[in-house]
Structure formats: structure tokens, C-alpha cells
Amino acid sequence: MTVVTAATTAKHPRSRRLWLLAAACAALVLAGCGTSQPKPVSATELAEAQTFPYFRVYWVGPTFDGYKLAGTDELKSYNPVVGDGVYYGDCVQNKGIFAGGSSCPLPLQVTTVVYAKHNNESFGRQQRNLLLRGAPATIYNEGKALEIYSGRLSIDIFSDTLQHALQAAAQLRPINAPGSASAPLPPPVFCPELSGPIPAAVAHALASLPAHVCQRSDAQETYTRTLNHEPLLSD
């Protein structure tokens, strides 16, 4: 089941994000709020997630804080813009509707997507940069959303509380590759465009990324601004 959601598009351009938000709200109106217990994830659906071929997909195991795995996205309808997600909770009708504007939001959604360059200013003023499992990350949406940068991926966690979001981050592991929740996450191979204050630990991690990607990114930005006769960011 591929779900086009407002939650999973926070990192994309504003116009696309607003379009997806409208689509999600329309789907919510049509579907209503389902509060019945979800059926167990079928062996076929789980096998598709476990054999997803394009990149590592992260989950937190078959259950999360007492909630069962309620669904996974299907390979046949995979959308590279949205990524691949797993869903936990009882509100089956509202999978993918983050905080859904309803009485039954999902307690947890984890979506993995290939990182697309974006500036985190779109996450709003109340965001915080930190390290999670050794990887740079940003908390936003009143602590209910996390974006973690690892490998060539963004791992997006959408939850109902900050406690659940951090708990999920601590339990992340690949569903389709070897890995454990006790190991650090692989560092990103790109330089995430963080916004707001950057703590010393995060700055050190960014400076230590493979191939000096952040230093090269800063040098390219400076060169481009100089060519265009634009003020440098430090001016």
C-alpha cells in the first residue's frame, strides 16, 4: 500500500507539499476514521518489505509500544518521491495521515526515502538539530516528527508524541538488510541543509562526514555566490 501523505512530504518543495496535503485531507474525508483492530500484516505484504530492492527500509520490529505493525507499502506502487513506509497502530483507515486532523492518528509511521536536497527552513522555527544513533537529525512539529540523515537516505519518523518519536529512533533497524537497533546508523554521504542553531556535536559530525562533503558543499556555495555577486552567508 503506497500512501501519499502530508507527513512524508515535509522535505519537498512547498508546492508539492501543499498538493499532497490536500490529497491526504481529501482521502481522510472520503475514508473516515477507522478505529477497528487492523488485520495482521499478511506474509506476502511483509515479504515485499523484507525484499524491497532499492535501498534499506527502516522499521522498529513487528510491534511498537504494544501496537502491532499495521501495514507496509507495496513495491508495485512504490513512489520514489514519497519513499517506502511502515505503519503501526489501530487506525487503519488513516495510514499515512500524520496527526490526520482526526481522533485516531497513527502512533507511529516510519518512512525511508532517498534524500532529496532541501533546506530545513520549511520545518518551521521550532526545530532542533541533534545526533541520533550517531547520525545528524532534526526534530520538528512540536517534537512529533524526526528526520534522520543516514547513508543516502532520509529516515522520517512521524508519531503522536515526542517520547514515541525518540523511542522509535532508538529502535530503528533495517527490515530488508542486516542491522540492529544497538548499532550506530551509517553516516550520511551528503551534507544535510540544516536550519537553526547547530550544536557542537552535530557540527563535529558534519565536519567528519566521508569525503568532506559538507566542506565541499560550503566551498561550492561560496563559489556560486561569488560568481553571482551575491553576499556571502557570513557577511
232 located within any domain: no
Compute the distance between CA of residue 179 and CA of residue 56 in angstroms, rounded to an integer.
10
Query: Which residue from 200, 198, 170 is spatially nearest to 185, judged by alpha carbons?
Result: 170
Whole-structure pTM value? 0.77
- 29: pLDDT strictly greater than 50: no
The mean pLDDT of the chain is 79
Q: Is residue 2 part of a domain?
A: no
Q: How many domains does the chain have?
A: 1
As a whole number, mean pLDDT of residues 41-64 equals 94
What pLDDT shows up at residue 6? 35
Give the C-alpha separation, 76 to 1, whole Å. 9
C-alpha triplet 130, 132, 136: angle, nearest 5°: 55
Q: Which three cell numbers stand for residue 93?
A: 483507515
Per-residue confidence (pLDDT) for residue 10, from 0 to 100: 41
Residue 16 predicted with pLDDT over 60 = no
The 10 Å Cβ neighbour count of residue 12 is 17
Cell of 189: 554521504
Q: Residue 234 falls within a domain, yes or no?
A: no
Q: What are phi and psi of 3, to 5 degrees?
A: -115, 120
Q: What average pLDDT does range 97-114 have in this prediction?
A: 69
Beta-carbon contacts of 101 under 8 Å, excluding residues fewer than 6 positions away, are: 25, 28
In a domain, 55, yes or no: yes
- Rounded CA separation 167/30 (Å): 32
What are φ and ψ of residue 88, in 5° steps?
-125, 140
Q: Is residue 1 part of a domain?
A: no
**Phi and psi torsions of 7, nearest 5°:** -65, -45
For residue 46, the model assigns a pLDDT of: 93
- What are 137-196's pLDDT values in tens digits? 999 999 999 999 999 999 999 999 999 999 999 999 999 999 999 999 999 999 999 999
Residues 2/74, Cβ–Cβ less than 8 Å: yes
Residue 154 domain-assigned? Answer: yes
Answer whether residue 190 is part of any domain: yes
Is 235 contained in some domain? no
Residue ranges making up the domain that contains 193: 7-227
